Amino acid sequence: MRYRLGELLLAQWWPRLALVQADPQQSAEALRAQLPPSLPEGGEGFVVRGAPAAGFPLGVRRCGAYVEYVARHDPLHVVDVAGPFDDYLRRQFSPKSRQNLQRSVRKVDALAPAGALAWTVATAPGEMAAFLRQAAAISRHTYQTKMLGVGLEDNASTLAAFEAAAHEGQARGYLLHVGTQPVAFAWCRGQGRRMLYDTIGYLTEHSAHSPGAVLLFHILADLHAAGRWDVLDFGPGEAQYKAHFATRCDTAVDLYFVQSQGLNGARLQAHWILLRASMALSHWLDRTGLKKRIKQLVRRLRGVR
């Protein structure tokens, strides 16, 4: 859990929380009632990702032996991937937008070496190490790593998680090449009938090729063809590409249930207060026109284009 004022990181606190994946159809009451009765050894609570927002008010409140924390209600964009891919393209995009997207795809595809595809997908356990190595090399240069510290790292624990997902048949590691150079990646992992668009990145020096959109085009074509998943889940939060490609938008929350002992409650309250202050500051900077200039200055100081 990061304590930020805008993009300035003030502190971090990482309680040992067991991950619980939410059922999108489950009510708030049912979710609270079905929390695991005991914590893993050394655990301090649970975090529930992507729960429906209904029934979970913002802020900090007591919930039995836990402190419940909801930081924000986020839009959750998803793409329904059942049915033919061509039907999705026709329904989702205007003729002009569809032509522009397909033109970008053809341009990148034309740069691939003879007999090769511009994109690859790693699904087997033995393919994960090579995918992770190439994806992490891209991730080191991305905004997510340089500004937010949440990029993809090539380490033993990440590789183990990727290989475990691959053993379960739920791994999709996508790479896009311009010529022979990997320029964009997407790590996607299955969760039941949902495919999570987990970690992504691209090299900004190749922005003219629209690498993010081109790779997402191939990902959606692949998932439509596979027929194993119902939706591609973009995860909480707004982004232009999410609204552009998504077929619908729900509202979701990340729920924190932390043991109500020691300073845990105070730490969550502090995070909530700082978050509200940061949002108020952001709105004020927006109104005064300063936000964009400050962000550009911070990015230049950190070497992010």
Q: pLDDT, tens digit, for every residue of 39-56?
A: 778 889 998 887 888 889
Whole-number pLDDT of residue 120? 98
Pick from 76, 48, 79, 80: nearest CA to 236: 76
Whole-number pLDDT of residue 237? 86
The burial of 138, by beta-carbon neighbours within 10 Å (0-12 exposed, 13-18 middle, 19 or more buried), is given as buried
Catalogue all structural domains in the chain, each as residue range(s) with its CATH number. 2-75+251-301 (no CATH), 82-229 (3.40.630.30)
Whole-number pLDDT of residue 304? 57
**Which residues are CB-contacts of 269 (< 8 A; sequence separation ≥ 6)?**
60
Whole-number pLDDT of residue 147? 57
Two tokens, residue 106? 């053809």
**Cα dihedral 290/293/295/297 (nearest 10):** -130
Lowest-confidence range among 26-30, 111-115, 160-164, 194-198?
26-30
**Which residues are CB-contacts of 54 (< 8 A; sequence separation ≥ 6)?**
27, 28, 251
Across all residues in the chain, what is the average pLDDT?
Answer: 90
CB 66 within 8 A of CB 38: no
Whole-number pLDDT of residue 82? 93
Task: Examine the pLDDT at 145 and tell me if it is beyond 70.
Answer: no
> Rounded to two decimals, what is the model's pTM?
0.78
How far is Cα 96 from Cα 19, in angstroms, rounded to an integer?
42
Residue 207 confidence class, pLDDT cut points 50, 70, 90: very high
Pick from 33, 184, 197: nearest CA to 120: 184
Residue 146 confidence class, pLDDT cut points 50, 70, 90: low
Q: Residue 78: phi, psi to the nearest 5?
A: -135, 155
